[in-house]
Amino acid sequence: MTVATLPIERPAGRLRQLVASGIGPVLAVVLAIIVGGVVVLVSGSNPITAYQQMLVGAVGSPFDISETFISSIPLILAAYAVSFAFRCGLFNIGAEGQLYMGAIASTWLATTFPNWPGIVLIILCIVAAMIAGGAWAGIAGWLKAKTGAHEVITTMMLSYVAIDISHWLLEAGPMTPSNAYGTPESGPIPPQAAFPIILPSWILPNARLNASLFLTILAGVVFAWILWRTPLGYEIRAVGFNPKAAAYGGINVARRLVVAMVIAGAFAGLAGMVPVWVQMRLYDSFSPGYGYEAIAVALVGRNSAIGIFLAGLLYGAMIHGSVAMQANANISGFLVQILQALVLFFVGAELLIRWLLRRGGLRALVEAPA
C-alpha cells in the first residue's frame, strides 16, 4: 500500500478498563444505600444504625464472614449460569430448575453409594450435578435450536418441573430415607464425601465454610476462560451479539445455542449441589430462590466473572447481614429486599448514573473504554 498508515495504537491497560466498567455498578450500590437510607429514615428508624448492624452482621466476626460466603456461593454459581447463556443471547431465567436437578443428581449419587471413598464420591457428585444441570438446560437450548421455542418460556417451565420432581422424590418418595419422621428430606450425605472445611478451628470452631469456595473461584476462571480464550467462547459470543454474522462466519448457530445452554446449566447444577453439601442433606425446597436472585447478581456483575463474584458477595452479605440488622436494630428484613431492588434499579438506570457522573465532572472516567 502506498497510503500513509498510522502506527498501531496501544489500548488502555486492562486494569483501567476494569475500573471503568466497574464504576457504574459501584455507584449504583452507593446510590442504593443512600436511597435505602432515606426509606429507613422515613419509616422512623436510624439508617446509620441499620447499616452499621447490617455491616457488622455480615462481616463482623469470622462466623459472619463464613456465613456470608455460604450465602454468596450458590448465588455466584447460578449467576454464572445466567450470564453464560446471556453471552450467547439467551435469557436463562430457569437456573432455579437446573440447580434443583444438580442437587438431586448429586444427592442421589452420594446417598446411593454411601460407602465409596470420599474423594471419588465427591468428584463424581460434582460431575453428576454438572451433567444434570447441563442436561436440563440443554433441553431448553435444543428446543430453541430445533423449533425456535423461546428459552424464557421453556427454562421457566422446566424449572417448575424440576422443583416438582424434587417434591415428589423427597416427600415420601424414592429419595426419602425409610427412617425419616415425615420430614421431606433425603438421607444424609456420607461424611467422607463432604467438602473440606477451609476455616481452621482456631479461627472459628465448627465453621461451615468449605472448599466449595475454591470450586466457585475455579468456576469463575473457567467461565472467563471459555468465553475469552477459546474459539468456542468466541463463537458463543458472536452468536449472542449477531447470529446472522455468526452464521456468515461459518458458525453452526443452532449447535452453539445448545452448547451454551448446557455449559450454563452445568454452572447451575454446581450451584445446586453446594448448599446441599453445607447442610449435608437435601431438604425439600432447599433453595430460597438462588436461581432467580442470580439474575440480579448477573446483571449487577455485568456478566463478567469478577463482577459476578463481587456482586454475589455483596448480595450474600446483604442477606446474611440482614439477620443481625433485624435482631439488633429492629428493622424489617424487607429493607434488604428494598436495597437489592434499588441496586438493580440503579444498575439498570446506568444512563442516569452516567449523566450524574458527567454533572459531577467525572467525564474522563465515564468515557474511558468500557
Partner 1 sequence: MTAVAPGPRGRLDGAATPHLEMRGITKAFGSLLANDHVNLEVQDREIHAVVGENGAGKTTLMNILYGLIHPDEGEILIDGQPVRIRGPRDAIAAGIGMVHQHFQLVPVMSVAENVVLGQEPGGIVLDRAAAVRQVRDLSERFGLIVDPTARVETLPVGIQQRVELLKILYRGSRLLVFDEPTAVLTPQETDELFEILRGLVAGGKTVILITHKLNEVMAISERVTVLRQGRNAGVLETARTSPPEIARAMVGREVLLRVERDEAHLGEERLRLEGVTADSDRGLPALAGIDLAVRAGEIVGIAGVSGNGQLELAEVIAGLRPITAGHIYLQGKEVGAQPAAERRANGLAYIPEDRHARGLVLPFEIKDNLILGSQSRPPFAVRGQRNSAAIDQRAEDLIHQFDIRPPNPEAPVSSLSGGNQQKVVVARELAEDPKVMVAAEPTRGLDVGATEFIHQELIRKRDEGLAILLISSELDEIFSLSDTIAVIYQGRIVEVMPSATADRERVGLLMAGGTVESAVPTAAQIAEAAATLGSPGVTGDGPHGEGGA
**Positive or negative, the Cα torsion across 178, 183, 186, 189?**
negative
Pick the stretch among 94-102, 200-208, 229-237, 321-329 that binds partner 1 (CB under 8 A).
229-237
Measured CA to CA in angstroms, residue 343 lies from 43, 53, 56, 285, 309 at distances of 19, 19, 20, 27, 16
Are the C-beta atoms of residues 194 and 279 closer than 8 Å to each other?
Answer: no
- 44 SS3 class: coil
Which residue's CB is nearer to partner 1, number 5 or number 206? 5
Q: Would you count residue 115 as binding partner 1 (CB under 8 A)? A: no
Q: Which of 70, 135, 145, 213 binds partner 1 (CB under 8 A)?
A: 145
Q: Which of 56, 253, 338, 349 binds partner 1 (CB under 8 A)?
A: 253
* CA dist., res. 168 & res. 180, Å (int): 15
Q: Which of 124, 153, 247, 362 binds partner 1 (CB under 8 A)?
A: 247
Q: Which of 44, 117, 148, 361 binds partner 1 (CB under 8 A)?
A: 148
Strands 185-188 and 281-283: antiparallel
Are the C-beta atoms of residues 239 and 233 closer than 8 Å to each other?
Answer: no
Q: Report the b/e string of 274-303 with b at 16+ CB within 10 A.
A: bbbbbeebbbeebbeebbbbbbbbbbbbbb
Q: Which of 117, 182, 191, 250 binds partner 1 (CB under 8 A)?
A: 250
C-alpha grid cell, residue 284: 425439600
Q: Would you count residue 3 as binding partner 1 (CB under 8 A)? A: yes
For residue 199, the minimal CB distance to partner 1 (Å) is 36
Q: Would you count residue 64 as binding partner 1 (CB under 8 A)? A: no
Pick the stretch among 41-49, 239-247, 300-308, 329-337 that binds partner 1 (CB under 8 A).
239-247
Q: Would you count residue 127 as binding partner 1 (CB under 8 A)? A: no
Using CB under 8 A as the criterion, which residues of the chain lie in contact with partner 1 when the complex forms?
Answer: 1, 3-9, 11, 89, 144-148, 228-235, 237-238, 241-254, 257, 369
